[in-house]
Amino acid sequence: MTTATATNKVTMKSSIKNNNVHKKLKKLKEGAPQHPSDPNQRIRQHSKGENVYNIFNILFFAIFTFLCFYPFYYLIINSVSNNQLSASGKINWWIEGLHFDNYSKVFALDGLGTSAMVSLGRTVIGTALTVIASAFLGFMFTQQQMWHRKFWYRFVIVTMYFNAGLIPAFITMRNLGLTNTFWVYVIPAIVQPFNIILVKTYIESIPASLQEAAEVDGAGTFMIFRKIILPMCQPILATVAIFSAVGQWNSFQDTLIYITDSKLYSLQYLLYQYLNQASALAAQVRASAGSAVNVAALATQQTPTSIRMTIAVIVVLPILFVYPFFQRYFVKGMTLGAVKG
């Protein structure tokens, strides 16, 4: 009995003690500020300064986004609005007199499909060769064992500031047999000094210990270039690809200088010719706008402004569709191939 009584007393004391502990914890919880257990549900009160800063940021980026988007929006609404209102500068915010005659006339041009394929081909092939040449030359100019490395690097860079001129360039292309050929679009643009500088500078920022470790393991120069340098140069090579593609796609001066065969006209040059023809026709209509017939023709005639807007939209859209596929490479840094310590 004595043992049972003692056990009951101990049990009662433990129970009372536990009850007291639970009461104290309950009081502490009731007195303490309540916080949700889920961190995502916790709401922190922002100070007045933080609120002002957030509002300023929202307004700034909203204005910046509008300034970036509005020029393209302006092109679109003017290309599908009344031509005369567009020419007079009255189309700024909304479409008036919606029509697609400008696009139907541009897409009905003779040779448009062939010219589009020429521009697409020169963009794809020219960009690929430029990226390969820029990567290879940029890497070679970082190698100390290259024969007369500094001389050849300066030899390439000096062409950024000095060139022979238009007539010697034309004579050179003619003597090489490149005039009136597709390759006149591609070969002269393969070696770009600015792109080589970008790639060379980027490669020099890569830790030298990577190449040294590969050399210790027995890797040769080409193996180092292919297995180490190229994978780590994806961001800068994507940048070079964007620069080259935009330049190839928008170029029409080389067609004007070197090409006389209409089958090799680039899309931009064909649209440039159409713009000149439309401008000349509009000038003739305005010059004889006295009669009722010519007044009616003036109301429906394409204007240089509407043609420019339409051409700008057609030329810009392919670049806008391609750019997002390359954008992700711009955010990659040197962590792609960081040295393990």
- CA gap 87, 82 in Å, rounded: 9
- CA gap 79, 313 in Å, rounded: 8
Is pLDDT at 271 greater than 90 in this prediction?
no
Q: Which residue range(s) make up the domain with 276? A: 101-331
117-137: pLDDT as tens digits: 888 999 999 999 999 999 988
- Average pLDDT on 258-273 reads 85
Instruction: Read off the CATH number of the domain in which 129 is found.
Output: 1.10.3720.10
| Local structure of residue 334 (DSSP, 8 states) | G
- Average pLDDT on 270-295 reads 65
| Closest by CA position to 185, among listed 115, 84, 80, 97 | 115
What pLDDT does 131 receive?
92
> Alpha helices, DSSP H only, in 205-303?
208-216, 221-224, 230-232, 234-250, 253-258, 267-287, 292-300
What pLDDT does 292 receive?
47
44-77: pLDDT as tens digits: 566 777 778 888 889 998 999 888 888 888 888 8
Share of the chain above pLDDT 90, in %: 4
208-256: pLDDT as tens digits: 788 778 778 787 778 888 888 888 888 888 888 888 888 888 888 888 8
310 contacts 101 by C-beta, under 8 angstroms: no
- Counted domains in the chain: 1
Residue 212 located in a structural domain: yes
210 contacts 301 by C-beta, under 8 angstroms: no
Residue 36 located in a structural domain: no
Q: What is the DSSP string of 44-73?
A: PPPPHHHHHHHHHHHHHHHHHHHHHHHHHH
Handedness of CA 75, 77, 79, 82 (dihedral sign): negative
Residue 68 located in a structural domain: no
Query: pLDDT grade, residue 284 (50/70/90)?
Result: low
Residue 11 located in a structural domain: no
242 contacts 340 by C-beta, under 8 angstroms: no
Residue 29 located in a structural domain: no
- CA gap 137, 143 in Å, rounded: 10
Residue 304 located in a structural domain: yes
336 contacts 329 by C-beta, under 8 angstroms: no
What pLDDT does 303 receive?
66
Contacts of residue 246, defined as CB under 8 A and 6 or more positions apart, other chains included, come to 319
Residue 220 located in a structural domain: yes
| Closest by CA position to 103, among listed 315, 283, 323 | 315
Tell me how far CA of residue 191 lies from CA of 102, 111, 146, 197, 331, in angstroms.
38, 31, 18, 11, 26
Residue 88 located in a structural domain: no
Exposed, middle or buried by CB within 10 Å (0-12, 13-18, 19+), for 249? buried
Is pLDDT at 312 greater than 70 in this prediction?
yes
- CA gap 205, 214 in Å, rounded: 17
